[in-house]
Amino acid sequence: MKELEEKIVREAQVLPGHVLKVGSFLNQQVDTVFLKKMAQETARLFAGLGVTKVLTVEASGISFATAVAMEMNVPMVFAKKHPSANMSGAQLCSPVYSYTHKTTYNIVVSRDYIKPCDKVLITDDFLANGNALKGLMEIVDQAGATVVGCCAEIEKGFQGGGDELRAKGVKVESLAIVESMTDDGKVTFRS
Ligand code: 5GP
């Protein structure tokens, strides 16, 4: 999405460790009008594939996944990162290494919310090395359900996670793919 690339150039900051900060419209403050446009574009990219659920991981994936699920008229499910007293019954669980927190945590979804008949679209805010998406794919696999594809708002193409999944035949669509970013804030995109 050209408009997303322009927003990144105007508003994003490059932090040390190849972290892109987009708190002004995506990660802390959410530009809801623009979020709707991104969700509409995502629904268009995955139209006609029979998606029955949108799955993401808390916390920063939730706003995008909710907007996409609303466009597709299906439920949104998010994996929890922390054990919670209000989770009971059988659970689907996968370890994920966090790029931003440099630690491994278990993501957990109740078995009640993903069934073998589900066709799941996995979404997240960022796609870097692909660990979060791989963990979510593992959860879908454990449920016996089908992954229809994956969509990130922003992919950092130079970190390779998206291309690794595409090479395995997964339909991966990202609304903007950053090809390079420098410490002085210059960002280029894959064309
Ligand atoms: P991956 O698992 O693909 O390596 O990283 C994706 C996850 O790490 C996303 O859930 C996202 O929250 C976080 N992440 C990775 N890179 C960035 C980044 O440059 N900026 C922000 N804000 N989050 C990132």
pLDDT in tens, 123-176: 999 999 999 999 999 999 999 999 999 999 999 999 999 999 999 999 999 999
Q: Binning pLDDT at 50, 70 and 90, where does residue 23 land?
A: very high
The Cα–Cα gap between 191 and 179 comes to 9
For residues 17 and 48, what is the distance between their CA atoms, to the nearest angstrom? 39
Across the chain, mean pLDDT equals 96
Lining ligand 1 with CB less than 6 A are 19-20, 27, 60, 99-100, 124-132, 156, 161
Residue 83 has pLDDT above 80, yes or no: no
pLDDT of residue 88: 72
How buried is 159 (Cβ within 10 angstroms: 0-12 exposed, 13-18 middle, 19+ buried)? Answer: middle
The stretches of 51-110 forming alpha helices (DSSP H) are 62-72
The identity of residue 65, as a single letter, is: A
Give residue 38's Cα distance to chain centre: 12
Question: For the residues 11-18, what does the mean pLDDT come to?
Answer: 94
Work out how many domains the chain is built from and give that number: 1
Is the pLDDT at 2 greater than 80? The verdict is yes
Q: How far is the CA of 129 from the centre of ligand 1 (A)?
A: 8
User: Cis bond leading into 79, ω under 30°?
Assistant: no
What is the position in ligand 1's atom list of the atom closest to the CA of 57? 10
Which of 99, 155, 174, 183 to probe ligand 1 with, by most ligand atoms within 8 A of CB? 99
Would you say residue 35 lies in a domain?
Answer: yes
Structure token pair of residue 125: 């805010």
Structural domain includes residue 127: yes
Q: What's the rounded mean pLDDT across residues 183-187? A: 92
Q: Is residue 18 part of a domain?
A: yes
> Can you give the residue range of the structural domain that contains 105?
2-184
Give the mean model confidence (pLDDT) for residues 109-136: 98
Q: Say if residues 124 and 133 touch (Cβ distance below 8 Å).
A: yes
What number is the average pLDDT over the span 175-181? 98
Residue 85 banded pLDDT, cuts 50, 70, 90: low
Residue 191 lies in a domain: no
Residue whose CB lies within 8 A of the most ligand 1 atoms, among 126, 151, 159, 182, for a mutation test:
126
pTM above 0.85, yes or no: yes
Is residue 26 classed as helix, strand or coil in its secondary structure?
A: helix
Q: In this structure, what CATH number is given to the domain that contains residue 27?
A: 3.40.50.2020
Distance CA 138, CA 147 (A): 10
Share of the chain above pLDDT 90, in %: 90
pLDDT-based confidence at residue 100 (cuts at 50, 70, 90)? confident
Taking phi first (over 0 means left), then psi (-120 to 50 degrees means alpha), and beta for anything else, what does residue 24 get? alpha
93 and 105 Cβ atoms separated by less than 8 Å: no
